[in-house]
Structure 1
Amino acid sequence: MRLGRIAVWRHLISLIACAAAVLGAFLPQSAIAGPRMQRLTLVVPAAAGGGWDLTAKAMKTALEREGLVGQVSIVRYPGAGGLIGLSQFVSRHRGEDDVLLIGGLVMLGAAVRDEAAVTLRDVTPIARLTGEWSLLAVRQDSPIRTVADLKVALKRDPAALRWLGGALGGPDQGLVWQIAEQLRIPLDEVTYFGRAGGVGSAIR
């Protein structure tokens, strides 16, 4: 497991290093040799250890290693699917050109779900750095072994299946809703439990 995490960490740093090199073309050129920016603050709207935090850490490593930024700081405002951090970013750092917010689909979904006053419409997108695959998994003793089995079970009794995944309003729940919509199943008949950092799964 540790070796796997190291491999993922190195891959993420490499990916963001490439993005950092591209972004570097848009950073102001320094009159002297050295970093193009002296300081940069990355705002993470989540607790330490999550995907957004790991992305920020990888960005810090890549930007400093490539000499694009002298010092990168990370601040965290966890809670409410990223909405607390989004609100803090907009209210505290409006107009500051040395502060970036890390975010994603969970934040978008949370804003829609909670009818938030501050949304992603209040910020300016800069770059997409990462993406992710959606995954469906069941327990080893589950009678559901294939997607076809899942469709049959959902059509027969949607409420008999419990879905466990990431935060409410995030991409995991979005995947579940897409599956239900494709099968013409009312969303209020789908039971979904959201947990921060979870993986989408159907459980009998």
Structure 2
Amino acid sequence: MYKALSLAVLTALAPLAAAQSVNNLRIMAPASPGGGWDQTSRAIQTVLQNEGLARPVQVFNVPGAGGTIGLAQLYNSKGDGSLLMTMGLVMVGAIQTNSSKVDLSRVTPIARLTGEYEVVVVPAASPYKTMKDLAAAWKTNPGSVAFAGGSAGGTDHMLVGLLAQAAGVDPKRMNYVPFSGGGETLAAVLGNQVAAGVAGYGEFEAQIKAGRLRAIGISAPKRQAGIPVPTLREQGYNVDLSNWRGIVAPPGISAQEKAALVAAMDKLHASKAWKDTLAERKWTDLYLSGSKFDVYLKLEANRTKNVLRDIGLVK
């Protein structure tokens, strides 16, 4: 009798035990090295491994088309419970602007992790000292003021479009130069190939502190601790936008596999190591996991489509 009872208890606990273990995990960063998704993927990798939540963890890059090439590869990996992909608002927009055959209704949502406000930067020697200086030149001749940022339809592109509206510039006339990785955007700004660049603060922080770039505005609703940059709002532009990032898995994974991945992210989020990472990189904690993230993704897809339509990026 006791043997049978013990067997029954072990059987009942087996799914729970399995749900706590994630091995041989791979995380896809669907962009070039150096950008926000790559940084986020490698930060997750470090904390998961150091906290013993998953081992080993490999990060690999699949750049192109605002992440939709990586999204298609994830979709084609149906049922692979050891594969994750970092994604975010950039991808939500790129799906629509690239008319992607695969959208986020085809993946398994795991968690929304962080948000990061966008900054507008210019080279240190630029004549534009403030956002108002830049906007004045922009309004006079929209095509002559080029902005560098991430892929077409992504967060950076949306912010420039919203800024154009706020500055009285026709978004359809703006000169936006898209790049697939943050390193390329940075090079374009430092090389004076464009008038300004847009990205998350973390991607420009080192160069701002080194004095090679000047940040003239941040897309936060209020000033951010540790970031001495005036908001766009306080300069007269009613614009704020957060570039959130999250994690999804392929479609067709089992409920047990999904539970294990969500549990790993929950533990990552609760760890001191992750809190230290957020503070160090100045990422805003926007954690949301499981079914709540699933609902959020659906709402975000609708919101993004409306924004892109308003600024003329999609019909």
| Fold shared per TM-score above 0.5 | yes
The structure having more radius of gyration, on CA atoms, is 2
What is the aligned counterpart of 2:123 among 139, 142, 153? 139
CA drift of 1:122 comes to: 1.8
TM-score by length of 2: 0.49
- Does residue 100 (structure 1) correspond to residue 81 (structure 2)? The answer is no
What is the aligned counterpart of 1:52 among 23, 33, 37? 37
TM-score by length of 1: 0.72
Superposition pairs for residues 180-195 of structure 1, below 5 Å?
180-195=164-179
Question: Is the contact between residue 23 and residue 82 of structure 2 (CA under 8 Å) also seen in structure 1?
Answer: no
CA drift of 1:178 comes to: 0.6
Superposition pairs for residues 1-204 of structure 1, below 5 Å?
29-30=16-17, 36-92=21-77, 94-195=78-179, 196-197=181-182, 198=185, 203=195
SS at 1:62's partner residue?
Answer: helix
CA drift of 1:192 comes to: 0.9
1:38/1:163 CA distance change after superposition, 3 Å: closer
Question: Is the contact between residue 42 and residue 56 of structure 1 (CA under 8 Å) also seen in structure 2?
Answer: yes
CA drift of 1:191 comes to: 0.6
Q: Aligned-pair RMSD on alpha carbons?
A: 2.6
CA drift of 1:143 comes to: 3.0
What CA distance in whole angstroms lies between the structure 1 residues aligned with 2:55 and 2:126? 52
Question: Is the contact between residue 36 and residue 67 of structure 1 (CA under 8 Å) also seen in structure 2?
Answer: no
What CA distance in whole angstroms lies between the structure 2 residues aligned with 1:203 and 1:100? 36
The one-letter code matched in structure 2 to 1:79 is: G
CA drift of 1:174 comes to: 1.3
1:136/1:118 CA distance change after superposition, 3 Å: same
Summarize deviations over 1:146-200 as a string: whole Å, max 9, x none. Answer: 1222332233222231212222222221111011122342222101111231259
Summarize deviations over 1:133-152 as a string: whole Å, max 9, x none. Answer: 21112234433221222332
The one-letter code matched in structure 2 to 1:128 is: R
CA drift of 1:102 comes to: 0.8
What CA distance in whole angstroms lies between the structure 2 residues aligned with 1:67 and 1:108? 31
Q: Which has the higher contact order (CA 8 A, sep 6+)?
A: 2
What CA distance in whole angstroms lies between the structure 2 residues aligned with 1:151 and 1:76? 36
CA drift of 1:46 comes to: 2.4
The one-letter code matched in structure 2 to 1:71 is: P
What CA distance in whole angstroms lies between the structure 1 residues aligned with 2:87 and 2:152? 15
Uncovered stretches (5+) of structure 1, i.e. residues with no partner: 1-27
CA drift of 1:88 comes to: 0.5
What CA distance in whole angstroms lies between the structure 2 residues aligned with 1:128 and 1:153? 38
What CA distance in whole angstroms lies between the structure 2 residues aligned with 1:163 and 1:54? 22
Uncovered stretches (5+) of structure 2, i.e. residues with no partner: 1-14, 197-315
SS at 1:95's partner residue?
Answer: coil
What CA distance in whole angstroms lies between the structure 1 residues aligned with 2:149 and 2:74? 27
